[in-house]
């Protein structure tokens, strides 16, 4: 599109905005009429470990959202000379799962408990047995059950619970709703109805009937909506929350809020059966859209849905690049010590490409990257480790390859279950920070999973881009499925770069994975002793 055409589209509000509150960044992406990104803005924030639990301050969520939007608005002004006032559609995404409890006045009763917490083991085990369905530690219903088991005072005053995306959407629109993909991390979804599973709701009611609570579980949960459904519109109060300058006009159509897993599927055109994607950043997870249900529940497999309600097998791991990022910080500090200011936008690609010079098995090095607990391997806490034998080849290339292998290792252990179930995957699409450097993360993922791996030109855009696409789908006038919309209107003609697994890399990763498995008892000892 020409500058003049884009200026007209901006003035008329022929746009879609996605905002995602990720683990370390809050990002806003604006799409033009052709569904391609035209502007973006971001801000940083960090989780906090308080009183034994991982949390974020919600005031930081709002200030970070405002900063990200302000930078996007500035980006629009610099590129097109337009003051951003009208937006066609808006969607909010955030980290899936977790627990935000509110009273009848809408007051937060306890600090946000994030997906990273692993204190819900007893609750998750009890509910998994009750439902005959795997309930992961991070799901909202597990957090609620654990709060009841702990006899926490706030539970008696509950009026609603929500995810982070659902909470932000609620404040912007006045509607307490969730996209079905995010809702599937709150309470199990029935694939037939696309709503909360009624059998399990009844089982939960019976399970807690003698505990003396006045609320009903269904009253606590947000309403479930599929992609494209009416999720309300931006109120005047909501517009002021996003843009305190007052320039943003209310009335923007709002898409159902989604979790980062759902937006990752959308951003990678992976919402049809036999497709899958791997989102790799602070955490890592694989989403594989199923042709048929698995034969039984598995503790390492979460059953969730696409944003339009198809069943998805999800392998979620809490740890991916956090330890690698910490080492990059150390290298940057060495640069500072030597009088060299290292640009992270150059440092990360150089370190990633250096790993390609390493030996296929990372020279005998072993890295365990667990900064927090990792349920897939049964660890409640984490202690990052670097272990090597005296004869290991300890150099920068092998060290970086070991770090990148470690970022994928726990995911591969979880995905072995899907291989045993003969789940067919035609292609995996990688997105997120791990895939920003071309040909590195993609190559290692192909070797680790034995599947062809594709990255798209938008691979580094992540979930904010996926949420913007869901917002565009919300205002699409055509009657088509989400998969059709993505294939025909968004990704048609985009150059894909499929990469087949390299046999040498596969052998090397397999050797690393054997060391990784053997080191897991060492990791447990480190947790016990340190």
Of the candidates 410, 390, 389, 381, the one whose C-alpha atom is nearest the C-alpha of residue 529 is: 381
Residues 206, 325 within the same domain? no
Distances (CA, A) of 512 to 66, 372, 403: 43, 21, 11
The enclosing domain of 400 has a CATH number of 3.30.420.40
* The three-state (H, E, C) secondary structure of 439-459, written as one string: CCHHHHHHHHHCCCEECCCCC
Where is 89: in which H helix or E strand?
A: strand 89-94
pLDDT at position 149 over 80: yes
Distance CA 454, CA 442 (A): 7
In this predicted model, what pLDDT tens digit does every residue of 128-148 receive, in sequence order?
999 999 999 999 999 999 999
Mean of pLDDT values over 246-266: 95
Is 351:397 a contact under the CB 8 Å cutoff? no
Residues 306, 416 within the same domain? yes
Q: Does residue 128 sit within a domain?
A: yes
Residues 6+ apart with CB under 8 A from 381: 118, 370, 372, 373, 527
Q: Does residue 346 sit within a domain?
A: yes
In this predicted model, what pLDDT tens digit does every residue of 491-516 receive, in sequence order?
887 756 689 999 999 999 999 999 99
Q: Higher confidence at residue 268 or residue 195? A: 195
Over the chain, what is the mean pLDDT? Answer: 94
Residues 525, 376 within the same domain? yes
What is the bridge-based pairing of β-strands 37-44 and 25-31? antiparallel
pLDDT at position 460 over 60: no
Q: Does residue 312 sit within a domain?
A: yes
In this predicted model, what pLDDT tens digit does every residue of 81-110 receive, in sequence order?
999 999 999 999 999 889 999 999 999 999
Least confident interval from 90-94, 177-181, 284-288: 284-288
Residues 429, 285 within the same domain? yes
Distance CA 248, CA 121 (A): 44
Distance CA 238, CA 528 (A): 47
Is 332:320 a contact under the CB 8 Å cutoff? no
Distance CA 256, CA 227 (A): 6
- Please give the tally of structural domains in the chain: 2
pLDDT at 461: 61
Instruction: Provide the domain limits for residue 137.
Output: 97-162+187-220
Task: Report DSSP letters for 226-277, one per residue.
Answer: -TTS---B--HHHHHHH-TTS-S-S--EEPPPEEHHHHHHHHTT--STTEEE
Distance CA 49, CA 67 (A): 24
Residues 6+ apart with CB under 8 A from 341: 335
Find the distance separating the first CA and the last CA of the chain, reported in whole Å: 58
Q: Does residue 16 sit within a domain?
A: no
pLDDT at position 406 over 90: yes
Residues 203, 279 within the same domain? no
Residues 274, 213 within the same domain? no
Q: Does residue 377 sit within a domain?
A: yes
Distance CA 262, CA 308 (A): 9
Q: Does residue 514 sit within a domain?
A: yes
pLDDT at position 310 over 80: yes
Query: What percent of the chain is predicted at pLDDT more than 70?
Result: 98
pLDDT at 501: 95
Residues 135, 208 within the same domain? yes
């Amino acid at each position: 599109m020409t500058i003049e055409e884009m200026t007209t589209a901006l003035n008329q509000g022929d746009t879609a905005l996605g905002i995602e509150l990720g683990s370390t960044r809050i990002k806003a992406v604006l799409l033009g009429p052709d569904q391609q990104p035209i502007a973006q803005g971001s801000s940083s924030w960090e989780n906090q470990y308080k009183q034994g639990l991982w949390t974020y301050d919600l005031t930081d969520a709002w200030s970070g959202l405002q900063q990200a939007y302000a930078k996007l608005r500035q980006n629009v002004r610099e590129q097109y000379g337009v003051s951003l006032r009208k937006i066609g559609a808006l969607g909010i995404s955030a980290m899936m799962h977790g627990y935000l409890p509110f009273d009848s006045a809408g007051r937060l009763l306890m600090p946000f408990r994030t997906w990273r917490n692993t204190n819900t083991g007893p609750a998750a085990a009890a509910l998994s047995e009750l439902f005959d369905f795997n309930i992961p530690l991070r799901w909202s219903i597990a957090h609620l059950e654990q709060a009841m088991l702990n006899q926490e005072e706030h539970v008696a005053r509950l009026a609603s619970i929500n995810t982070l995306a659902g909470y932000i959407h609620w404040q912007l629109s006045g509607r307490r709703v969730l996209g079905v993909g995010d809702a599937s991390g709150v309470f199990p979804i029935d694939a037939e109805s696309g709503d909360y599973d009624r059998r399990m709701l009844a089982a939960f009611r019976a399970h807690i009937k003698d505990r003396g609570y006045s609320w009903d579980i269904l009253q606590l949960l947000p309403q479930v909506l599929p992609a494209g459904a009416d999720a309300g519109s931006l109120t005047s109060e909501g517009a002021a929350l996003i843009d305190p300058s007052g320039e943003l006009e209310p009335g923007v159509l709002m898409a159902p809020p989604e979790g980062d897993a759902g937006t990752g599927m959308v951003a990678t055109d992976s919402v049809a059966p036999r497709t899958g994607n791997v989102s790799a950043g602070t955490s890592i997870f694989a989403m594989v859209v199923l042709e048929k249900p698995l034969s039984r529940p598995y503790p390492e497999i979460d059953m969730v849905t696409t944003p339009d309600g198809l069943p998805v097998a999800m392998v979620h791991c809490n740890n991916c690049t956090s330890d690698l990022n910490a080492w990059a910080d150390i290298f940057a500090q060495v640069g500072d010590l030597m009088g060299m200011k290292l640009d992270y936008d150059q440092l990360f690609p150089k370190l990633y490409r250096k790993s390609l010079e390493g030996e296929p098995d990372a020279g005998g090095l072993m890295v365990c990257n667990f900064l927090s607990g990792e349920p897939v391997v049964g660890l409640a806490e984490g202690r990052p480790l670097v272990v090597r034998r005296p004869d290991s080849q300890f150099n920068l290339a092998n060290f970086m390859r070991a770090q990148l292998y470690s970022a994928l290792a726990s995911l591969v252990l979880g995905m072995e279950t899907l291989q045993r179930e003969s789940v067919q995957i035609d292609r995996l699409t990688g997105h997120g920070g791990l895939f920003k450097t071309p040909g590195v993360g993609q190559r290692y993922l192909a070797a680790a999973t034995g599947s062809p791996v594709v990255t798209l030109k938008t691979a580094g855009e992540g979930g904010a881009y996926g949420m913007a696409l869901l917002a565009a789908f919300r205002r699409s006038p055509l009657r088509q499925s989400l998969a059709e919309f993505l294939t025909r209107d968004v990704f048609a003609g985009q150059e894909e770069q499929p990469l087949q697994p390299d046999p040498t890399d596969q052998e090397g990763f397999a050797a690393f994975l054997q060391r990784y498995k053997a080191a897991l008892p060492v990791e447990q000892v480190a947790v016990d002793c340190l």
